[in-house]
Amino acid sequence: MFIFKNNKDLLLLLDSVRKNKQTIGFVPTMGALHEGHLSLVASAKKQTDFVVTSIFVNPTQFNDPTDLLKYPRTLENDIRLLAQADNHLLFTPSGDQIYPKGFNKNRVFHLNGLDRLLEGEFRPGHFNGVAMVVHRFLELIQPDKIFMGQKDYQQATIIRQLIQSEKLPTQLVMCPIVRSQKGLALSSRNTRLSPQWKRKALVLHQSLRFAKAAILQKTPIQQIEEEAIEKIKSAGLNPEYFTIINGSTLKKAKDLRENLVAVTAAWAGDVRLIDNMLLLP
C-alpha cells in the first residue's frame, strides 16, 4: 500500500493511474477505522480499479475545539487494517496540504438548506466544514466514485448535493450501515460506551425497526415518532430527535408515499449516537 502525506506525491501517482485507464474510488475518513470503514473500502475495491482512502481529522467541521482534541487518533492500527483490506493508497495529509496559506476557510457552500436541518440544528457550521474538506479532496483526487456510509445519512446526502451544485464529475455511492451482531450501528464513538450503555443503546436499532414495521402497517407518522421517542427514553437514553423524513429533502415527511427514512440522535450517558433506517422496501 502506498502511504503519502504530500499532495505532490499523490497527484503524480494518480496521474499514472489515470494514464493506465484505471478508475479511482475514494473513501474519506478521519481514522479510528472499524468494520464500517472497511466495508466502504471493500465496496470501492469492487466498483473501481484503484482505491484511495484518506485519514484527515478535519478541524473545520468541529464546532467544539475540545472535541477536535479528544478525537481518537489510531494511525498505526488504521494502517494495519487498510493494508489487510488491500487498500491501494492511504493519503494522510497534514493541515497545510489541505488548507494551504491563503485558503479561504470562510467559504460558505450552498447546500440547499440540507445543512441546517436535523444534525445541523445541533452542530452549526459542521456540514459546511465537511463540505469544505470533501470538496478539497474531490478537487485533488478527482475520483470516479466517492464511497460514504449510510450511517451518516445526512452527510452523504449533503455531499451528493455538493457534487451536483459544484458540477463535479464524481458519483456518490452510499453504502449500507454495518451493525454489531446485536444491531448497534458501528461508530468510532462506540469505544466510549461501557458494556451497560452498549446494551441500552440497542434501543436505537429496535426503535428504527419498530418504525419500519409501523410504516408498513400505515400507522400515522407522528404516532410512530412519539412511540419511538418513548421507547428510547424508557431504555434510559436521552433522545434529541426521532424523525421520519423525506430521504431526498431531509424535511419532515408528511405522507406515507414519500421516500421515507427514520433518523434519530440520542445521548447514551455522555456519548451522542446517531442511527437511521430506510423505511420502504
114 grid coordinates: 440540507
Where does residue 10 rank: exposed (0-12), middle (13-18), buried (19+ CB within 10 A)? Answer: buried
H helix or E strand, kind and range, residue 264: strand 260-268
| Residue 133 binds to ligand PAF (criterion: CB under 6 A) | yes
CA distance 151 to 69: 23
| Residue 154 binds to ligand PAF (criterion: CB under 6 A) | no
H helix or E strand, kind and range, residue 80: helix 75-84
Residue closer to ligand PAF by CB (options 59, 183) is 59
- Spell out, one character per residue from 30 to 49, where the chain touches ligand PAF: x when CB under 6 A holds, - when not: x-------------------
Which residue is associated with the grid cell 494518480? 14
Q: Per 3-state DSSP, what percentage of the chain is helix, strand, and coil (rounded to 5)?
A: 45, 20, 35
Using CB under 6 A, which of 134, 172, 185, 211 touches ligand PAF?
A: 134
Q: CB of 41: closest distance to ligand PAF in angstroms?
A: 13
- Residues in region 59-88 near ligand PAF by CB under 6 A: 61
| Residue 28 binds to ligand PAF (criterion: CB under 6 A) | yes
| Residue 261 binds to ligand PAF (criterion: CB under 6 A) | no
| Residue 130 binds to ligand PAF (criterion: CB under 6 A) | yes
Based on the residue annotation, tell me whether 110 is a catalytic residue of this protein. no
CB 87 within 8 A of CB 48: no
| Residue 58 binds to ligand PAF (criterion: CB under 6 A) | yes
CA distance 190 to 273: 8
Residue closer to ligand PAF by CB (options 62, 242) is 62
In the complex, the residues that contact ligand PAF under the rule CB under 6 A are: 28-30, 58, 61, 130, 133-134, 152, 155
